[in-house]
Structures are given as structure tokens and as C-alpha cells.
Amino acid sequence: MDTEQPFPDGLIALALHQTQLTDKQLRALLLEAGSLLQLLRLSIATLQQYELNPSQQAELADLEQQLHQAYADNSLLTQQWQYCLEHNIGILSLNHPAYPALLKQTYDPPPLLYYRGNIDLLNSPQLAMVGSRRSSQQGNKNAHAFAKALAGVGFTVTSGMALGIDTASHQGAMAADGNTIAVLGTGIDIIYPRRNHELYQAIAEQGLIITELPLGSAPLKGHFPRRNRIISGMSLGVLVVEASLKSGSLITAQCALEQGREVFAIPSSIHNIASHGCHTLIRQGAKLVETVEHVLEELTGWLPPVSEQPQQQTLLPVISLQQQQLLEQLGYDPMPIDLLQQRLNIPITELMATLVQLELEGLVENVGGSYQRVV
């Protein structure tokens, strides 16, 4: 074994995450030492300078010996390292050349990042896309369409792999054979929510999955606001697709503002409470976005020039005359069924059957018992 580098960086990183060091201390020591190995060899005087208590100093003093033993025993550290090797999980420290440059410039960048997938995406031009977990059908369509278009012109779409808007954004980027990054609020070995198991596997193969949390970290409530600062910190801007006033997406937008990033928001009907958060952001100065071009106006300088591609014609479903008449009565605000029946003057059973057919075609959406058109 090489005497200059007796341990893999990933093994050292795992060991450091099992100590009592805070992220602030670990970040400072990494910047002082310049590498993971040299961190293990910092003097007691240096450790005291960074206000490590005697217990923390003792942990670091014993760490190199523990790493030697890791090759001979079956400790938790050994098991975790073997898991990382078997599942192609890497760990980056703050001073690694591949560490995302934009994230490193933020106030509190994670000292360590676990990753699976294409590490080169960390320093690609990224746009964060976030929104409600309980998103509407139209919100999901918007997220998918915007992500597909943005990934198609060269942006990496970064999101949090939550249900709703996050999921639609990742799927839209991959539909364009583009790049996407999922930032987790769990350990990289924990898939949350469980129903996104297939999405996790697809992103690991086609894109990149990262987290700052150690292996085995559960989806605790406090993890997600911290996760959001990474999503915004790596990105040139944040596009909020659909968010209520209490949405965690507003935390991401706030992080973006504090980090000096662009904030974009897609408006919706004033009656759609799921978008009141977007409207609040727009009133506070976020850029109102109706088309992808509104995003590109601010960020297109980050992309290499691309040749203009011919637009594909979208084929709309064939609908009957009665279905067309119903659509003409509906707008993009929810309309109660009794008012719709009054305007069309047809039996309720016939009206409901027509609405179901249009909903299956993806042309209308049921919102709290009322109906509205889908763009």
C-alpha cells in the first residue's frame, strides 16, 4: 500500500462522519489541512485553534489507528466502506477538485458529499426546479415540460426527488435525454419516498444523486431545509413551478436569494391555492415565467451556442362536439359542476360521463370537486 496515501479518501471521509466533529469544525479543518489525509495529521495546537474539545482531539488522534484496523475487523466503518464499494458510492471532500464550485462559494457548504452517478454534472450549468409535493396535474405538466426544454438546451435540472413537482422535473429532464441531479434529505442508501425507487435507480444511472448526510440517515424533518440550500447553492437559479404559502419550496427560494441566485416563478390562477407561494415570490421580485425563453433571457450566457432545432408538432386528441362545447365553457379556474350543468343544460349523468372522458384525455382536471381546463 502507498505510504503517502495509506487510506482511500472515501474511507477517511466515512470515519470523519462518525466523529463528534460539527460540520463547521470539519469544514474549517479541511480548508486548513488541504486534504483528508493531512487532516488526520494536524497538530494538537491546530486542533485547539479551531476550538476542538479534548474528546474531539482524542477522536482525531485515534482515527488513523482505527483506519488501519478497518482492514482487519468487521466494524461499522468496514461495513459502510464495503457497501460504498459495492454500490458505486463515492465521497467528495470540500477541497476535492470535483466539488461544485458554486456551492463552495456559499456561506455553509457541506464538508462532505456522498454521490452516485456522473460526478461531472456537479460543475455543469444547473437550474433548480422545485415545487409542491401535492401538485396539480397542470403543475406536473408544467414541471415536466419546462424541465424537458431546459435540459434539451443544456441545463442540468437539479431537484430534491420528492413527490409532485420534483419528480416531474427529474422525469422531464430524462425524457429529453438530458442531465438531472437529485439532492437527498436522507443518506444515499435510503430511498425516500419509497415509491420513487425506480426514479432513484434511473437518476443514478443517467444522472447524479448526492447528499451531505451519512449512510443510514433517515428522512427527518430537519434534514430537508438543509438539503434545500444545496439545491439552490449548486444552481444558477431556482424555478418555483407550483407552491403554496407553506411550501418548503419557498425555503429553497429564500436560500437562493441569500446566495445571490436568480429566482423564477410560474404564475397560476388566483383561485389556485397551490400557487399562492409563487404569486408571493413574484410580488417580492421573482421573475414571472410563462415560457422557457423567460428563463433563458437571464441564464443563456452560461450555455454553449446550440443550433436551432425544428419544433415537433403536438398532436391533440380527437374529441366530440359535446366535449368541445364543454371545454369552451371551462376556463383555467375551477368551475363547480352545478354551474357547468346550468350553462350546458344537459343531464348530470351525461355531464359527468363527458368530464370523465376529458379527464382521461388529460384535457380537464378535478380540483376539489370542481373542474378546470388543463393547458
Domain spans of the chain, in order of start: 9-86, 119-302, 321-373
Confidence bin at 142 (pLDDT 50/70/90): very high
Question: Which is nearest to 250 in space by CA: 283, 220, 218?
Answer: 283
**Host H or E run for residue 328:** helix 321-329
- Model pLDDT, residue 375: 63
Q: How far is CA 237 from CA 27, 127, 205, 255, 287, in A?
A: 25, 5, 25, 11, 11
114: pLDDT strictly greater than 60? yes
CATH topology for 119-302 is Rossmann fold (3.40.50)
Right CATH for 321-373 from 1.10.10.10, 2.30.29.30, 3.30.1130.10, 2.60.40.420: 1.10.10.10
327: pLDDT strictly greater than 90? no
Quick one: average pLDDT of 151-167?
96
Confidence bin at 307 (pLDDT 50/70/90): very low
Q: Is the peptide bond before 193 cis (omega within 30 degrees of 0)?
A: yes
300: pLDDT strictly greater than 70? yes
When mean pLDDT is compared across 17-21, 186-190, 203-207, 215-219, the lowest value belongs to 17-21
When mean pLDDT is compared across 56-60, 197-201, 267-271, 303-307, the lowest value belongs to 303-307
Is the pTM higher than 0.85? The answer reads no
